[in-house]
Amino acid sequence: MFGIFSYGIASPRAGFKTGDFVLDLEVIGLLGFFQGLPVNPAVFAQPTLNDFIALGKAAWLAVQDRINHLLNDPEQPLATIHDQVFIDVSRVTMHLPVQIGDYTDFYAGIEHARNVGLMFRPNGDPLLPNYRHLPVAYHGRASSIVVSGTPVKRPDGQFLRNDQPVFGPTEALDFELELGLIMGKNTSPGTVVSVDEAEDCIFGIVLFNDWSARDIQRWEYQPLGPFLAKNFASTMSAWVLPFHQLDAARIAGPVQEPEPLPYLQTRQPGHFDIHLEVFLQPANGDEVLLSQSNARHLYWNFAQMIAHHTVNGCNLNVGDVMASGTISAPATETSPAGTFGSLLELSWGGQKPVTLPDGSTRTYLHDGDTVTLRGWIETAAGRITLGEARGRITA
């Protein structure tokens, strides 16, 4: 996985995580190990991955090939310089991996959309009429996305209490279990990315927590959608898994009925069997598993999201983030914990508090709670883990 790290007095630069070590790509480049590749090693001395990503897919694959060779060559070319190029992961500080120009959050988790519909609009069809025809999304705030480990301050806002607007700290702070895509291509305005080309625009994938204040959201969201309930913070994992590594987990998605319009029809399976977990650690307690889900429960796949995003000619920029929307599994899935990707759903709108092993209950998050998202895929060669997205709530 690629990321941006610093340690000691060294400035942030690109690294590659392997086991419990970070391979310093700036130093690897300075030592000439990237010679012969279509890559100027100066891109690894930058405080974001944007310049590296902008080199394009052929360069990403060539660099990863070379790194794999350096790590797996039986002659161990890095053995004599181990301490120069490997840093124990416990010693590094991680930074946001990319400079994010734009952030779009989809709503592609159909179980979540259905659950929210049941709660927010109990008297109608839980899914709005457009849901199975297009991947719904909103434009979020890029500059309040923070790297895993950054504390998140409970936001103030306006919400209803006894049907009267009041102002104060949110009383319904929640997480959302999502995946984020890091865009790897610049396109100019007017360019349409077809569904078949869409995956080539993705550099990598991260875990993504779209923190949400449900009381503020419920009051403000009509008619234009989320605003202050969402834009105070989102947390993403520091390590980016290159997208092509997901190939081992590629699966067919759900049957899409009615059939989508031609520009959204995919020819190859575009879903991925990515195991997802949410953990909650109270201020003075142990971390507990709160929920288990899987990316196969998304209705729309990543290629369809990108094709829809660009079908009007909307441009893409390297470093843009597109998040999936909350990924809940059906309640019928078996799990030792819950299967939903938010406390809104796990506590069913606050009506069914979740009881933790220490006896305390949660409808929404308490100050001092830490939420951690984790994920992995199983491959013939073993498990590949994504980074983790962790954030602690402060008053």
The size of the interface with Ca ion (CB under 5 A), counted in residues, is 3
Stretch that binds Ca ion, among 33-41, 202-210, 281-289, 313-321 (CB under 5 A): 202-210
Q: Rounded CA gap, 52 and 39, in Å?
A: 8
Give whichever of 341 and 387 is closer to Ca ion, judged by the CB atom: 341
Amino acid at 354: V
Minimum distance, C-beta of residue 255 to Ca ion, in the bound complex (Å): 25
Side-chain half-sphere of 144: how many Cα atoms within 13 Å? Answer: 19
Please report, as residue ranges, which positions from 155 to 194 form the binding site for Ca ion (by CB under 5 A): 176
Active site residue 69: no
Q: C-alpha angle with apex 190: 185 to 191, nearest 5 degrees?
A: 40
Q: Which residues 6+ apart lie within 8 Å of 149 measured at CB? A: 94, 238, 390, 391
Residue 225: CB atoms within 10 Å: 16
**105 is a contact residue toward Ca ion (CB under 5 A):** yes
Structure tokens at 288: 């507990």
Stretch that binds Ca ion, among 87-95, 105-113, 120-128, 290-298 (CB under 5 A): 105-113
Minimum distance, C-beta of residue 227 to Ca ion, in the bound complex (Å): 13
Q: Rounded CA gap, 220 and 138, in Å?
A: 14
Please report, as residue ranges, which positions from 253 to 272 form the binding site for Ca ion (by CB under 5 A): none
Give whichever of 48 and 217 is closer to Ca ion, judged by the CB atom: 217
The SS3 assignment for 288 reads strand
Kindly give the pairing relationship between strand 152-153 and strand 389-394.
parallel
The only residue of 102, 210, 320, 369 in contact with Ca ion, by rule CB under 5 A: 210
Residue 161: CB atoms within 10 Å: 10
**345 is a contact residue toward Ca ion (CB under 5 A):** no
Stretch that binds Ca ion, among 85-93, 142-150, 210-218, 373-381 (CB under 5 A): 210-218
Give whichever of 7 and 138 is closer to Ca ion, judged by the CB atom: 138
Minimum distance, C-beta of residue 176 to Ca ion, in the bound complex (Å): 4
Minimum distance, C-beta of residue 41 to Ca ion, in the bound complex (Å): 37
> Nearest-CB residue to Ca ion?
210
> What is the torsion angle, in degrees rounded to the nearest 10, for the CA atoms of residue 102, residue 105, residue 108 and residue 113?
-170
Give whichever of 52 and 299 is closer to Ca ion, judged by the CB atom: 299
Let me know: does 312 contact 94? Beta carbons within 8 Å: no
The catalytic residue among 69, 95, 112, 139 is: 112
Minimum distance, C-beta of residue 226 to Ca ion, in the bound complex (Å): 8
Q: Rounded CA gap, 175 and 214, in Å?
A: 10
Contact set with Ca ion (CB under 5 A): 105, 176, 210
Residues taking part in catalysis: 112
